[in-house]
Structure 1
Amino acid sequence: MNLNDRQRKLLFAGLVVVLAAIGVYLTVAAPEHDHDKADARPSATVTAGPSAPASPPPGIHSTVDPKNFDIYRLLPFSQQDFATAADLAQRFVAAYGTYRYDEDPTAYIGRMSGLVTDDLRGQLEAGASAPGIQDQRRKEQVVAQGGASLDQVRTIENNSIIFLVTGKQQLTRNGTASSDSKQYAVTVSRDGGSLKVYAFAPADAGQAGDTG
């Protein structure tokens, strides 16, 4: 295309205007575009994980004040865990001493299933289902109502607490009422994320210590 001098000057001037406009656009719009992209990126959120229980216990570094002494700062179990363990030991002994001659052994074991470890449940189930025990109870029409009293703490280990618990029974045998009591050593231990009765035995027979 042949252009005269005047047309070439007009074309050049038009190109200068266009290029200037593009330069202004890039200078002003580009930062806004980058800013928009930065705003669109998801921001990283730091979420604190669950705090782990203090182990070993937090201890006491200040001077001991007898009027404000928190013994649980020296123990491997919190006050809440200690109370839970004591409740488990007491409820277990009461449930262990409660049964009827005409009751299915599975119902008897079911009352203790949430209180004990799986291993202890298996042992209790085997004992309760033994033919000799069931035959004797049916023959004498035994009905037993159990209760329990917490006597003392025998041992505190890193993963277990052994309580001395007295089991008390109100018995009816062949229509005759009587009462009985026996003291047990009951071990409550950590079982996964909870506390369960791990073992028990007559108090005078002793108990294994820590289960961990």
Structure 2
Amino acid sequence: MARISDRRGLVFAGVVVAIAAVGVYLSVRSASDGSEEPRPTAGAVVSTAPAAPSSGGRTPSPVKSGAFDIYAYLPLSKDQIAQAADAAQRFAVSYATYRWDEDPASYAERLKAFTTAELGTVLARDVTSPATVERNRADQVVSEGSSRLKEIRDIAGGSVVFVVTAVQRITAKSGPQERGTDYAVTLTQVGSQWQVYDMQPAEAGQDGDPGGGTVE
């Protein structure tokens, strides 16, 4: 599957544009806040007392909280990112949840509910392989999954890559254990839905794949 490292230049350029826009915004705001010094009217008494010492010049007006919207500079809206993040986490929970006495085909179907057809086929082949099934049955493995979102690794129009930690709480004949694994999970937008297009081990340095989704 294609890496998205060739698109990092575009992401960096977008960040530069956003920073430049912030600079322009602050400059314009500072200029507009200035007011012309009133001129003394005829007959007014002009004080000759020395001016109070300046404490460093005029204090610039702070930017009001919420005045700058970072989402205006991103290819996806806040709601779209939230929906994709929710889908990524639910997929990770499903991936980390299975038991030795469950029909492997049923486990595969649960995963396919979150993925594109191509990735669903790959995952189904992995989780139903005879070696995997026999190993879990021999040790009577029961895995209860949970997940947490770690970071956004990349974002583009119609796709987003999250790093998600899948946590497994395992009971087995060999003894209980808990382990967490970080995955780079790429989601692509299909209509109004988000589907998992790719999953790679995050520690291997994979960026995921943009998937070529379409923004609705």
TM-score > 0.5, shorter chain as reference = yes
Moved over 4 A (4+): 59-62
Does residue 63 of structure 1 match 2:25?
Answer: yes
In structure 1, C-alpha distance between the alignment counterparts of 2:122 and 2:142, rounded to whole Å: 22
Which structure has greater helix proportion?
Answer: 1
Q: Per-residue displacement from partner, 1:20-72 (whole Å, max 9, x unpaired)?
A: xxxxxxxxxxxxxxxxxxxxxxxxxxxxxxxxxxxxxxx97983656122221
Deviation at 1:112, TM superposition (A): 2.4
Matched residue count: 154
Gaps of 5+ in 2: 1-17, 27-62
Which residue is 2:164 aligned to?
165
RMSD: 2.0
3-state secondary structure, aligned to 1:91:
helix
More relative contact order, 1 or 2 (CA 8 Å, 6+ apart): 2
Deviation at 1:74, TM superposition (A): 1.1
Percent identity of equivalent pairs? 35
Deviation at 1:209, TM superposition (A): 4.2
Which residue is 1:197 aligned to?
196
Q: Per-residue displacement from partner, 1:81-125 (whole Å, max 9, x unpaired)?
A: 110100011111111011011101122123223211111111111
Q: Which moved more, 1:69-78 or 1:140-149?
A: 69-78
What TM-score does the superposition give when structure 2 sets the normalisation length? 0.66
| Rg larger for | 1
In structure 2, C-alpha distance between the alignment counterparts of 1:164 and 1:66, rounded to whole Å: 32
Does residue 210 of structure 1 match 2:210?
Answer: yes
What TM-score does the superposition give when structure 1 sets the normalisation length? 0.67
Deviation at 1:194, TM superposition (A): 2.3
Q: Which moved more, 1:149-158 or 1:68-77?
A: 68-77
**What letter is aligned with 2:161?**
I
Which residue is 2:136 aligned to?
137
Which residue is 2:50 aligned to?
none
Gaps of 5+ in 1: 1-58
1:69-84 matched pairs, under 5 angstroms: 69-84=68-83
